Amino acid sequence: MGQIVLKLPLNKIEEMMQAYQSQLKQAPQGAVFAAKTPNSSITAYRSGKVLFQGKNPEIEAGKWGDIEETGSFSPSNNSKPKQHNFMPNPSLFTQSHIGSDEAGTGDYFGPITVAAAYVEQSQIPLLKELGVKDSKNLTDASITSIARKLLQLELPYSLVILHNPKYNKLQQKGWTQGKMKAMLHNHAINQLIKKIEPVKPDGIIIDQFCEPQVYQRHLQSEKNALQENVYFMTKAESHSIAVAAGSIIARASFVQEMNKLSKKAEMTLPKGASAKVDRAIATMIKKYGRDNLNSFAKVHFANTKKASAYL
């Protein structure tokens, strides 16, 4: 049993309500809706907080947003970064540091992309001027254009892409999305540390998607270890410009991969995990058959089943 809380905009919550239409149950007072799936029960509140509880809450939560916090929950509490021993000292935000973030985890179609970026202290004002900030507050078009400027600046970064066939293989082997993300972040950071050698960053900040202890356990299970000076923080992209740069590079890469996949499928693959996605899955199955989904999608998402309604 676990629980996960996401903070989502109301339009997303409406989208969710539609997606879980056949699984709705009576909502408690103050809730917009409540639903139950085989993995998790879901309660969405007007504050924008959505609570996922049950056997595998990360499966449902992972479709809708970045997993930000676990543990205690009250529908009205402020979503402050979660406190733990791996919190970065705020002075690190103004020093030379590495930041890493991911994209694509809640999208049915397309890969997971993780990018780590290294920002030197002297570059921080310039990056701010270029509009580097939390990619969630930017359109895909401006993300692509800012990412291009980062490449022109030759900002040191490293990008890893987990394509769908490998994702599905790992998922079938029993890997959770959390474990995949931990391994991808770790890999991206290792690559970047090598790239900038002999320079050593003042610190490394990972946009937190699980408890630091859980992250370390994932690494240990694959005989990997945490690098020196690694810190975790929820909503890190709004504090660290390196994490923000990572989030922009990861998102730009995700958008690019989605364009490639759409071209390959000769149809537009929608982002996210809404009913629009279910209809696109049905179209794809009719065009190419069910086996083909493995190359384009995270097939364990409930969308695969929900698409049957459109077949």
Binding residues for Mn ion, rule: CB under 5 A, are 66, 101, 207
Burial class (CB in 10 A: 0-12, 13-18, 19+), 93: buried
- State in angstroms the smallest separation of the CB of 207 from Mn ion: 4
3-state secondary structure of 145: helix
- State in angstroms the smallest separation of the CB of 247 from Mn ion: 6
- Phi, psi for residue 26 in degrees, rounded to 5: -65, 130
Secondary element (H or E) of residue 181: helix 177-196
Which CB, 41 or 158, lies closer to Mn ion? 158
Which CB, 180 or 299, lies closer to Mn ion? 180
- State in angstroms the smallest separation of the CB of 28 from Mn ion: 29
- State in angstroms the smallest separation of the CB of 66 from Mn ion: 4
Alpha-carbon span 273 to 261, nearest angstrom: 16
Using alpha carbons, select from 66, 67, 19, 61 the residue that is nearest to residue 42: 61
- State in angstroms the smallest separation of the CB of 102 from Mn ion: 6
- Joined together, the tokens standing for residue 301 give 């998402």
DSSP assignment letter at 136: G
Which CB, 60 or 66, lies closer to Mn ion? 66
Per-residue 3-state assignment (H helix, E strand, C coil) for 238-301: HCCHHHHHHHHHHHHHHHHHHHHHHHHHCCCCCCCCCHHHHHHHHHHHHHHCHHHHHHCECCCC
- State in angstroms the smallest separation of the CB of 288 from Mn ion: 32
Which CB, 15 or 101, lies closer to Mn ion? 101
Neighbours of 85 (CB within 10 A): 8
- State in angstroms the smallest separation of the CB of 182 from Mn ion: 13
Is the preceding peptide bond at 270 cis, omega within 30 degrees of 0? no
Cα–Cα–Cα angle for 22, 172, 206, rounded to 5 degrees: 90
Structure-token match 């922009």, residue found: 248
Which CB, 15 or 68, lies closer to Mn ion? 68
Which CB, 167 or 296, lies closer to Mn ion? 167
Q: What is the number of the residue whose Cβ is closest to Mn ion? A: 207
Which CB, 15 or 66, lies closer to Mn ion? 66
CA distances to 94, 97, 234 from 91, in Å: 6, 11, 17
- Joined together, the tokens standing for residue 157 give 């970064």
- State in angstroms the smallest separation of the CB of 2 from Mn ion: 19
Which CB, 42 or 243, lies closer to Mn ion? 243
